[in-house]
Amino acid sequence: MASPDDEFIAELKSEFGQFNFIPSTRFKWKAPNSIFYEAKTDYSFEDFALLTLHELGHALSNHKGYKTDVERLKMESEAWQRAKQLIKEHPAWQDRYRLFYNENLAETELDSYRDWLHQKSKCKKCGLTRYQTADGVYHCPNCEL
Ligand SMILES: [Zn+2]
Ligand SMILES: [Zn+2]
């Protein structure tokens, strides 16, 4: 018997045939059309489904790449909004899989990006928060004066 994970992926494949759904070791969107999902996971079905929908959210939002980390954070947030919308558009998923949007999961995932961004933007010399210019380079307002 197919697991709910497999059934869900099969359903997404038939509805979103323009994308490739590829089993992998981690969740990832790769433009122009590849959605990677963790094939053997300890995730609950709900987390598995939501993380997959998040990657589909990147795909449907036409995300290609980012120059700055703030841009990336914005894309992450957008992909979660899209995942939320997908759930709204598919009430059948509630009946079939008991699948609901989970704000906490999205916030936890976004928090880890925010932390990462915070760590990354910290100046190694003086500890001040640096800013990133459009070319992707970080500058310290203190050390680069
Ligand atoms: Zn993402
Ligand atoms: Zn500095």
Ligand nearest, relative to CA of residue 66: 1
Is 144 domain-assigned? no
CA 126-129-133 angle, to 5 degrees, is 115
Summarize the confidence of residues 4-10 as an average pLDDT.
95
Ligand nearest, relative to CA of residue 141: 2
Number of domains forming the structure of the chain: 1
pLDDT tens column, 101-138: 999 999 999 999 999 999 999 999 999 999 999 999 99
Distance 18 CA to ligand 1 centre (A): 19
The rounded radius of gyration (Å) of the Cα atoms in the chain is 18
Rounded CA-CA distance 7/21 in Å is 13
pLDDT tens column, 41-89: 789 999 999 999 999 999 999 999 888 988 999 999 999 999 999 999 9
Ligand nearest, relative to CA of residue 128: 2
Is 8 domain-assigned? yes
> Given pLDDT bands bounded at 50, 70 and 90, which one contains residue 95?
very high
Q: Retrieve residue 13's tokens.
A: 């494949």
Is 145 domain-assigned? no
Residue with tokens 């089993």: 23
Whether the Cβ atoms of residue 59 and residue 72 lie closer than 8 Å to each other: no
Q: Where are the alpha helices (DSSP H) in 1-145?
A: 4-15, 45-60, 69-89, 91-97, 103-121
Is 19 domain-assigned? yes
Q: Which domain holds residue 103?
A: 4-139
